[in-house]
């Protein structure tokens, strides 16, 4: 069983029950719905499909809603795209009227006040490069710097300009409230610039009385790196969104930034996600490149919680095959992880609370005894998350009586949530742990499992026991 989680983006290639079901069966843990491309009507429909399939398969699939954020996009392109050639001239306008063939709409109304002649515009993760030649009240006249295709609704980066865009627009507030109404498990915040942006969303969730939805901060602009420690601290997790990040920064710096962020989130016991072009060649091919396989494998070796598929599953020709390929790479790589080294990285982190101390001991014991599983009974998800943070060599089964808690654990490394009734005694916890483990794993005589949790189950907020069980 793989421990690193897979997020799959839904889109035209996968927006139906059959494909969604096949992706869940083949390893998808969380589905991402991007509100930049999905209407609320479609989003609501997809969430209902996922929840229905979960009931049929007895699974606990997470739902991640991706906000638009303070983004800039180009649209108004007839037939969906246009071929551009080096030295062409095009006009990007904030006007509602497209008066010429080479004129397209740009969504940020104040862009002509903030952009100057000589600035670069990079569209579609840098595949389209433009140079601003002239600026008027509502038009940017740009020279095309490369042969390319310009597609509708692609995002625009302006790496040399710090734009004065508000982070949380009214539309984003409404989108987050909408995600909350759907009981989404995670909200991914686009273009986070500082920890204050995250805190604003946290305040919004408090106002909505939503204690369930977790905040994933997308790291995709320069300013976020200046406040990365605080962003990690106030977020439930972070996503290294390499598309926009690779446009904002020199490409060669992105791999080491990715490694640093994954390590820092790991040390702070937060969720880490790596995204963008993990297996992008599989949008049109049946096999990934060797470089893509190495990319996925290296992220797994770094201890990332989850890897995200974007266009591969949203618009790719074979989303299910892509998921299977990623799962196979993950499982092969996880056999080579040095779990002792991962645990040693955590040796100097604080473990002075009861749950952290016992969770560390549970993982250390599991590694020494080569346990087949850790069973972390949890009412809030806290115990399972703490055990996951120390990266044991075995899977973590998380029995919980709460469906929301089960889906909230869908991004945590190594955790397999299982719905159960409320436990009334430690004996019941142990008995159920053995029953679940035997059902899920091919256990043999003398195999060991580690059982941990808090008791009394209802009222205790800490993990306070650990038990080693040997199969007889």
Please say whether the beta carbons of 161 and 115 come within 8 A. Answer: yes
Pair of tokens at residue 216: 């994933």
Identified catalytic residue from 2, 5, 32, 270: 32
Strand (E) positions, 244-372? 271-275, 306-309
Q: Is 358 helix (H, G, I), strand (E, B) or coil?
A: helix
Identified catalytic residue from 25, 40, 51, 73: 73
Alpha carbons 158 and 123: distance in angstroms, whole number: 9
Please say whether the beta carbons of 15 and 42 come within 8 A. Answer: yes
73 is catalytic: yes
Please say whether the beta carbons of 165 and 108 come within 8 A. Answer: yes
Alpha carbons 169 and 187: distance in angstroms, whole number: 15
Identified catalytic residue from 276, 313, 400, 407: 276
Identified catalytic residue from 218, 270, 372, 391: 218
Alpha carbons 183 and 44: distance in angstroms, whole number: 11
276 is catalytic: yes
CB within 8 A of 316, min separation 6: which ones?
Answer: 13, 282, 283, 284, 322
Alpha carbons within 13 A on the beta-carbon side of 469: 23
Alpha carbons 25 and 189: distance in angstroms, whole number: 28
Q: How many CB atoms lie under 10 A from the CB of residue 168?
A: 17
Q: What are the residues facing 156 on neighbouring strands? A: 123
Q: Is 68 helix (H, G, I), strand (E, B) or coil?
A: coil
327 is catalytic: no
Q: How many CB atoms lie under 10 A from the CB of residue 177?
A: 14
Alpha carbons 286 and 344: distance in angstroms, whole number: 39
Pair of tokens at residue 170: 């009214």
Pair of tokens at residue 343: 């645990």
426 is catalytic: no
Give the CA diameter of the chain.
80
CB within 8 A of 144, min separation 6: which ones?
Answer: 84, 85, 86, 87, 88, 89, 90, 128, 129, 130
With b for 16 or more beta-carbon neighbours within 10 A and e for fewer, the 262-291 pattern comes to: bebbbeebbbbbbbbbbbbbbbeeeebeee
Return the active site residues: 32, 73, 218, 276
């Amino acid at each position: 069983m793989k421990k690193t989680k897979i997020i799959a983006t839904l889109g035209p290639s996968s927006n139906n029950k059959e494909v969604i079901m096949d992706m869940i069966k083949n390893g998808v843990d969380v589905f991402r719905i991007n509100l930049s491309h999905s209407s609320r009507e479609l989003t609501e429909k997809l969430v209902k499909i996922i929840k229905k399939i979960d009931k049929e398969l007895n699974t606990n699939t997470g739902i991640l809603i991706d906000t638009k954020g303070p983004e800039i996009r180009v649209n108004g392109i007839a037939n969906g795209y246009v071929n551009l050639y080096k030295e062409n001239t095009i006009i990007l306008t904030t006007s509602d009227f497209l008066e010429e063939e080479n004129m397209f709409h740009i969504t940020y109304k104040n862009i002509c006040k903030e952009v100057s002649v000589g600035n670069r515009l990079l569209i579609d993760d840098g595949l389209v490069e433009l140079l601003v030649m002239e600026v008027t009240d509502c038009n940017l006249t740009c020279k095309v710097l490369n042969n390319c295709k310009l597609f509708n609704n692609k995002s625009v980066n302006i790496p040399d300009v710090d734009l004065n865009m508000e982070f949380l627009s009214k539309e984003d507030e409404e989108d987050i409230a909408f995600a909350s109404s759907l009981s989404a498990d995670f909200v991914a915040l686009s273009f986070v610039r500082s920890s204050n942006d995250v805190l604003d969303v946290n305040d919004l969730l408090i106002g909505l009385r939503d204690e369930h939805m977790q905040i994933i901060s997308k790291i995709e602009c320069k300013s976020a790196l200046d406040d990365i420690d605080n962003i990690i601290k106030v977020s439930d997790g972070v996503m290294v969104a390499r598309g926009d990040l690779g446009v904002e920064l020199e490409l060669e710096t992105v791999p080491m930034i990715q490694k640093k962020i994954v390590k820092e989130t790991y040390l702070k016991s937060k969720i880490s996600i790596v995204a963008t072009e993990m297996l992008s060649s599989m949008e049109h091919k049946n096999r990934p490149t060797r470089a893509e396989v190495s990319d996925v494998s290296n992220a797994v070796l770094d201890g990332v919680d989850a890897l995200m598929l974007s266009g591969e599953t949203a618009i790719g020709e074979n989303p299910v095959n892509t998921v299977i390929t990623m799962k196979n790479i993950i499982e092969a790589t996880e056999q080579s992880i040095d779990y002792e080294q991962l645990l040693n990285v955590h040796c100097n982190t604080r473990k002075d609370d009861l749950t952290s101390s016992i969770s560390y001991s549970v993982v250390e014991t599991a590694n020494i005894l080569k346990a087949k599983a850790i069973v972390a009974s949890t009412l809030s998800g806290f115990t399972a998350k703490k055990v996951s943070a120390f990266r044991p060599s075995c899977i973590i089964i998380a029995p919980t009586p709460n469906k929301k808690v089960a889906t909230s654990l869908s991004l945590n490394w190594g955790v397999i949530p299982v719905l159960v009734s409320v436990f009334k005694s430690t004996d019941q916890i142990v008995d159920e742990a053995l029953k679940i483990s035997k059902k899920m794993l091919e256990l043999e005589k003398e195999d060991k499992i580690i059982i941990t949790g808090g008791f009394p189950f209802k009222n205790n907020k800490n993990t306070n026991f650990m038990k080693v069980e040997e199969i007889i």
